[in-house]
């Protein structure tokens, strides 16, 4: 495999410091179960131990949707509602707007100087996106720049861990290269230093690592493709029990009758293993399905639908508290962004100092 897939090890924080995590999403619409099991569930765990920053990449949203600012704005507030519903707690993590943290833009410009243009374009996730979205040669200058911007999103918080889905690994690899290069050029870190040692050796930036969730990829209700809003195969966390049952009803397994031995590696059983909480019950279902022991797809789907519904019920309740109340959501963002700016300004100041760009202290009034 390529260098990009070499294992990334989460570095330890300096003695006496809490480890930091930064992650985020581009606002593209409501979040679905794939987002939850792939990444958000992990963040909910990590917020207990890490100094946590959750970024809403509303500037990145403009890379492919610049003609639709109203939709981006609406999606930005929706994603906060979904985060809160899924259990991210604003007293434990700073949920913030990318566009209101100026240090991120400034670091993007600086980091763009440390990366060969060809290196940026060699990013497989960018290439995939160009292909999947049919961009051809017609993408903006800002499109590849977003990958550089993502390195700044992460490094502005001097993050150690970046909980993300598998597709983001190339971006984290680029971030690691920027961190190493900066520390070597401006902080005197030895080019042969171990990645895990950079902060201890005086580097401004830890070399951060991706922390990929247990379910890197949840299949959609079409039974084949990755769950995705645009493929119309997603269960949204705001879906009702009835909608969940209907969507699962469409999941085709090809099995004809309940006496026929079933294949427990099919998509339906991925759902069984992901969502039915009792491992004994999962084993029992697998055994009976495989044996064709009088158990139909319809029955299994009902049990899965009930389990998903139980998972989503408290989320729907939490979400309801923020429905239709933009002011409440914006207040949460504002406080999160204030905290994010404190951290990012401190990093920028250190980075400028190291690179000989700091001539006097600056004080920005933000928020």
* Interaction site with ligand TRP (CB under 6 A): 22-26, 55, 57, 60, 150, 153-154, 162, 164, 168
C-beta closer to ligand TRP: residue 19 or 24 = 24
The closest residue (CB) to ligand TRP is: 57
Closest CB to ligand TRP among residues 147, 305: 147
Complex with ligand TRP: residue 5 or 240, whichever CB lies closer: 5
Q: In whole angstroms, how close is the CB of 353 to ligand TRP at the nearest point?
A: 24
Q: Closest distance between ligand TRP and the C-beta of residue 55, in Å?
A: 6
Report the interhelical angle of 169-187 vs 142-155 (nearest 10°).
70
**Residue 151 token pair:** 């390195």
Q: Which residues pair with 32 in a beta bridge?
A: 236
Chain center to CA of 298: 33
C-beta separation of 148 from 177 below 8 A:
no
> Which residue, 236 or 289, is less far from ligand TRP as judged by CB?
236
**In the complex, what is the shortest distance from the CB of residue 366 to ligand TRP, in angstroms, rounded to a whole number?**
19
Q: How far is the CB of 152 from ligand TRP (least distance, A)?
A: 9
Residue 150: in which H helix or E strand, if any? helix 142-155
189: nearest Cα among 178, 199, 175: 199
Stretch (H or E) spanning 125: helix 124-132
**Distance in angstroms (rounded) separating the CA atoms of residues 10 and 301:** 38
DSSP for 305-364, please give it.
HHHHHHHHHHHHHHHHTTTT-HHHHHHHHHHHHHHHHHHHHHHHHHHHHHTT--SS----
Nearer to ligand TRP, 68 or 194 (CB): 68
245 Cβ contact list (under 8 Å, min separation 6): 301, 302, 305
Q: How far is the CB of 3 from ligand TRP (least distance, A)?
A: 20
In the complex with ligand TRP, the residue whose CB is nearer, 61 or 308, is 61
- Length of the chain counted residue by residue: 367
Residue whose CB is less far from ligand TRP, 57 or 300: 57
User: What's the min distance (Å) between Cβ of 18 and ligand TRP?
Assistant: 18
Of the candidates 165, 154, 141, the one whose C-alpha atom is nearest the C-alpha of residue 62 is 141
Least distance (Å) between residue 104 CB and ligand TRP: 9
Q: First-to-last CA distance in the chain? A: 45
For strands 20-25 and 209-212, give the pairing.
unpaired
Cβ proximity to ligand TRP: between 148 and 285 the closer is 148
* Cβ atoms of 161 and 19 closer than 8 Å: yes
Rounded to the nearest whole angstrom, what is the least distance from the CB of residue 146 to ligand TRP in the complex? 7
Give the nearest distance from C-beta 210 to ligand TRP in angstroms: 9
Q: Which residues contact 104 (CB under 8 A, 6 or more apart)?
A: 98, 149, 152, 153, 156, 344
User: Of the two residues 167 and 195, which places its CB atom closer to ligand TRP in the complex?
Assistant: 167
């Amino acid at each position: 495999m390529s260098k990009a897939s070499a294992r990334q090890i989460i570095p330890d924080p300096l003695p006496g410091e809490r480890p930091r995590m930064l992650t985020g999403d581009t606002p593209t619409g409501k979040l679905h179960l794939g987002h939850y099991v792939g990444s958000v569930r992990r963040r909910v765990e990590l917020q207990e131990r890490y100094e946590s920053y959750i970024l809403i990449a509303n500037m990145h949203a403009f890379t492919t949707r610049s003609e639709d600012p109203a939709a981006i704005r609406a999606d930005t507030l929706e994603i906060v509602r979904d985060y809160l519903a899924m259990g991210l707690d604003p007293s434990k993590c700073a949920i913030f707007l990318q566009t209101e943290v100026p240090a991120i833009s400034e670091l993007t410009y600086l980091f763009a100087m440390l990366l060969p243009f060809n290196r940026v374009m060699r990013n497989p996730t960018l290439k995939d996106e160009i292909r999947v979205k049919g961009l051809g040669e017609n993408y903006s200058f800002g499109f590849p720049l977003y990958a550089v911007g993502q390195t700044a999103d992460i490094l502005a918080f001097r993050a150690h861990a970046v909980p993300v889905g598998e597709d983001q690994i190339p971006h984290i690899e680029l971030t690691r290269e920027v961190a190493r290069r900066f520390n070597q050029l401006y902080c005197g870190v030895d080019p042969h230093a171990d990645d895990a040692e950079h902060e201890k050796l005086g580097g401004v930036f830890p070399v951060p690592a991706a922390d990929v969730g247990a379910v890197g990829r949840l299949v959609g209700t079409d039974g084949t493709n990755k769950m995705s809003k645009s493929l119309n195969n997603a269960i949204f966390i705001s879906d009702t029990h009835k909608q969940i049952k209907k969507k699962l009803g469409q999941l085709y397994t090809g099995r004809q009758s309940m006496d026929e031995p079933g294949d427990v590696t099919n998509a339906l059983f991925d759902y069984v293993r992901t969502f039915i909480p009792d491992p004994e019950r999962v084993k029992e279902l697998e055994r009976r399905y495989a044996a064709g022991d009088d158990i139909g797809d319809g029955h299994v789907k009902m049990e899965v639908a009930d389990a998903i519904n139980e998972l989503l019920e408290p989320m729907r309740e939490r979400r309801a508290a923020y429905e239709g109340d933009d002011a409440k959501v914006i207040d949460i963002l504002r406080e999160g962004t204030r905290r994010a700016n404190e951290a990012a300004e401190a990093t920028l100041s250190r980075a400028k100092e190291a690179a000989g760009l700091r001539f006097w202290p600056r004080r920005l009034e933000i928020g």
